[in-house]
């Protein structure tokens, strides 16, 4: 994976544009990476539903839960499936709508200055090795492209919206993720 800094698109991943984005504030570059967990319907994996949610094409009649989120306009920069497959929905130059009401280190509106990465999963089911590997490669590519990012600027949705959000949840192995990211960053900077 490699980020084209000019366009903000990552090479080597599937691209599916979401309309749910807008311009970052003038002069603002991403300096935070937010890890999320998502499953649609809740607790189920696979299928096209995450793509449909982020492209405003989720059929409300396909599952009872979908009717409860009809009209929701959200997105993420990247999603990582259980298989490790990565899809990019929004250019890193732009603001994806992933964090909602949020605060990090006294700064509100984390969408303004963050990259959102959705992992297909739940708070309670372990994430897959392929997801940790893809997350590590994506974070290493982002840190290489944007020097203001680093593995130390990686947080969970629960960290920026405590009490409102719990993802990626206790099933997400932070030490494992950070060790994988450190190895991926080291490989990238060696070459």
- Catalytic residue set: 118
First to last CA, the chain: 14
User: What's the Rg (C-alpha) of the chain?
Assistant: 16
Q: Which one, of 85, 70, 74, 66, lies nearest residue 18 by Cα?
A: 74
Give helix then strand counts, H and E, for the chain. 5, 12
How does DSSP classify residue 156? Answer: E
Token pair for residue 134? 């893809």
Q: Which residue has the tokens 């009209």?
A: 71
The β-bridge partners of 21 are 96
The β-bridge partners of 118 are 36, 79
């Amino acid at each position: 994976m490699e980020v084209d800094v000019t366009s903000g698109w990552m090479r080597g991943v599937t691209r599916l544009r979401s309309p749910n984005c807008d311009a970052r504030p003038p002069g603002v570059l991403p300096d935070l990476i937010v890890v999320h967990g998502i499953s649609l319907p809740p607790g189920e994996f696979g299928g096209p539903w995450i793509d449909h949610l982020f492209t405003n094409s989720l059929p409300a009649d396909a599952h009872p839960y979908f009717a409860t989120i009809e009209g929701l306009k959200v997105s993420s920069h990247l999603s990582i499936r259980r298989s490790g497959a990565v899809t990019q929905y929004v250019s890193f130059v732009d603001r994806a709508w992933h964090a909602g009401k949020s605060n990090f280190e006294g700064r509100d509106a984390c969408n303004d200055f963050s990259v959102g990465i959705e992992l297909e999963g739940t708070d309670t089911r372990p994430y897959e090795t392929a997801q940790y590997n893809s997350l590590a490669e994506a974070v290493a590519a982002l840190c290489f492209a944007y020097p203001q990012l680093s593995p130390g600027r990686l947080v969970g949705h629960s960290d920026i919206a405590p009490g409102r959000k719990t993802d990626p949840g206790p099933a997400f192995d932070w030490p494992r993720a950070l060790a994988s990211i450190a190895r991926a960053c080291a490989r990238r900077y060696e070459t």
